[in-house]
Amino acid sequence: MKYVDPYIPEDPVAEEAELLQGLREGDAQAFEKLVRWHFGRLFAVANRILRSETDAQDAVQEAFVMAYRAMDRFDGRSKLSTWLHRITVNAALMRLRKIKRLHEVSVEDLGPKFSDEGYRRDVGPTWKRTAEEDTLEQERADQVHEAIAQLPESYREIIMLRDIEQLDTEQTAKALGIKPGAVKTRLHRARQALRELLDPYMQEAGV
């Protein structure tokens, strides 16, 4: 395959504003610049999730098509590059779900467990692995990606709005058209479900 240099603007902030205007007016050249500018970074993101260059390329292609179609709905609350990042992560996670034949989990089934008296009963052995250890960083990232890929869309979405776009509760509520209280509940359930999904792996003794 023939490789060419990416497009690297001198002033990224000014360029982003200009591209955005072009994109909203349906300017094909603006979109081409956007693709050449962000391809490498988005490919790296997808490849980190899929660990296959072919699959990563497919995911990036899918993400750009989705972004192109959703451009009207980009509201500028985060940087265009961050928005593209979120769309790419989602495309890669959905591809990962398909490749690994992962099933969507029920968040209700992964809720915390308490006795009738309200005592906690869901804590098994302490996590032997730590979130910081470097030696197995790739393996651990794979586990986390698979866990997120198993979440139902509304839960995956809220995790990504918070963790990628870094929206606060109010902003997330506005983006999703739900009440702040509902954002908090959904986010907590999503994190709780991820904790349960990661629990067996995190309990294993590290090497």
Under the rule (CB under 8 A), what is the footprint of other proteins?
A: 1-6, 26, 28, 31-32, 35-36, 39-41, 43-45, 48, 57, 60-61, 64-65, 68-69, 81-82, 85, 89, 112, 114-115, 117-127, 130-131, 140-141, 144-145, 148, 159-160, 163-164, 184, 187-188, 191-192, 194-195, 198-199, 202
CB of 123 to Zn ion, least distance (A): 9
Q: Which stretch binds Zn ion (CB under 5 A): 26-34, 47-55, 115-123, 164-172?
A: 115-123
Q: What angle do CA 67, 72, 78 make, to 5 degrees?
A: 70
Question: Which option in other proteins, Zn ion, none does residue 184 bind, with CB closer than 5 to 8 A by kind?
Answer: other proteins
Letter for the amino acid at 122?
Answer: D
> For residues 5 and 117, which CB has a smaller minimum distance to Zn ion in the complex?
117
> For residues 68 and 114, which CB has a smaller minimum distance to Zn ion in the complex?
114
Instruction: Say how many Å lie between the first and final Cα of the chain, rounded.
Output: 40
Q: Which stretch binds Zn ion (CB under 5 A): 8-16, 82-90, 97-105, 117-125?
A: 117-125
Question: Which option in Zn ion, other proteins, none does residue 73 bind, with CB closer than 5 to 8 A by kind?
Answer: none
How many amino acids of this chain bind Zn ion (CB under 5 A)?
A: 1
Q: Can you spell out the DSSP letters for 103-170?
A: PPPPTGGGS--B-TTS-B----SPPSS-SS-STTHHHHHHHHHHHHHTS-HHHHHHHHHHHTS---HH
Q: Which residue has the tokens 């999503």?
A: 190
Give the phi and the psi of residue 120 in degrees, each rounded to 5: -70, 130
For residue 160, count other CB atoms closer than 10 A to its CB: 20
